Amino acid sequence: MNVMKFLVPAFVAWFFFSTASQGQAIEFPVLKGYKAVSDYPVYTPDDLWDYINGAADAYLALGFEDLHINEYVKGKNKIKAEAYRFLSDAEAFGIYSLERSPGYEFITTGVQGYVEEGVLNFYKGEYYIKLMTHSKSKKVNDSMRALGDKIAEIIPGTSEFPELLGAFPAEGLLKNEETYLLDGVLGHDYLRGAFRATYETGGDRFYIYIFNFKSAEEAAAIAGKLTETPVSSAADEAEKYVITDGFNGVLYAARKGNRLIIISGLDANKTAVAERYLNMVLSR
């Protein structure tokens, strides 16, 4: 691996919580005119495959904790509500962002959600909520929207995206393509817990990854693994690197304090572009 280093300065309902090992209890809200039916077990990482088959891999990779399911029945019409709980809001955002598409119709339920005919998905706090119905009735779909709002109202947490997403520059950002990766970022086992955004500018398409580690020492240790050179945690100025990586080709990186930023997808002759974006992230 070759490294070049350069330095540059009205409704009440409740969710009841316990530990996952105890089987977390969750009380879904009442939906007027519908009978609530809960015939499903509580799914955990041990048996999520039994419910969503191969899709379970992505959920487990993002820290899935448990799943509670409730159905609302009115005559022949049914609305199913699935509440997936994750380790934190970052992981819940990660799975939600993995399943959304920039072209969806977004709504303000929870932090953000989207609707299609018969589907309403959103995330808030540690929860990714999925509602669905086979009915094409506008009344039933309107009831599903109302149910989504009620569930969002009682989930703990703010209605804001994870704070670190605010560090991504707006210039060239492809909106609603941001995501969160928990393990094996850029193919490296030691790179964990990154927010990623996609950019297009001047004919270039590239990705920016932002990591916030617990300490400057941890960030320096991770940067040292990436560059295969010693990295001091005491540097006051940002340290920047151009790295030839076996998995990804050229990577541009910067570390300051407990933050590590990596840019992938730019060629070796795009140092000026990379440096400009690294500086924008570092300044935020």
Domains of the chain: 11-154 (3.40.1000), 163-282 (3.40.1000.20)
Contact 233, 224 (CB under 8 A): no
Which residue, chain included where needed, has tokens 């492809």? 174
Q: How far is the C-alpha of 179 from the C-alpha of 201, rounded, in Å?
A: 19
Per-residue HEC secondary structure of the chain comes to CCEEEEEECCCCCCCCCCCHHHCCCCCCCCCCCCEEECCCCCECCCCCHHHHHHHHHHHHHCCEEEEEEEEEEECCEEEEEEEEEECCHHHHHHHHHHHCCCCCEEECCCCEEEEECCEEEEEECCEEEEEECCCCCHHHHHHHHHHHHHHHHHCCCCCCCCHHHHHCCCCCECCCCCEEECCCHHHCCCCCCEEEEEEEECCEEEEEEEEECCCHHHHHHHHHHHHCCCCCCCCCCEEEEEEEECCCEEEEEEEECCEEEEEECCCCCCHHHHHHHHHHHHCC
What pLDDT is stored for residue 7 in this prediction?
42
Rg (CA), the chain: 22
Q: How far is the C-alpha of 35 from the C-alpha of 243, rounded, in Å?
A: 59
Q: How far is the CA of 170 from the CAs of 127, 277, 283, in angstroms? A: 27, 10, 13
Q: What's this model's pTM, rounded to 2 decimal places? A: 0.88
What pLDDT is stored for residue 100 in this prediction?
96
Q: How far is the CA of 216 from the CAs of 63, 212, 258, in angstroms? A: 25, 9, 4
Q: How far is the C-alpha of 71 from the C-alpha of 131, rounded, in Å?
A: 10
How is residue 235 written in tokens? Answer: 């540097």
Mean pLDDT by 10 residues, the chain (284 residues): 46 36 65 94 96 94 96 97 96 97 95 95 97 96 97 92 96 97 96 98 96 94 91 77 94 95 97 97 92
What pLDDT is stored for residue 231 in this prediction?
78
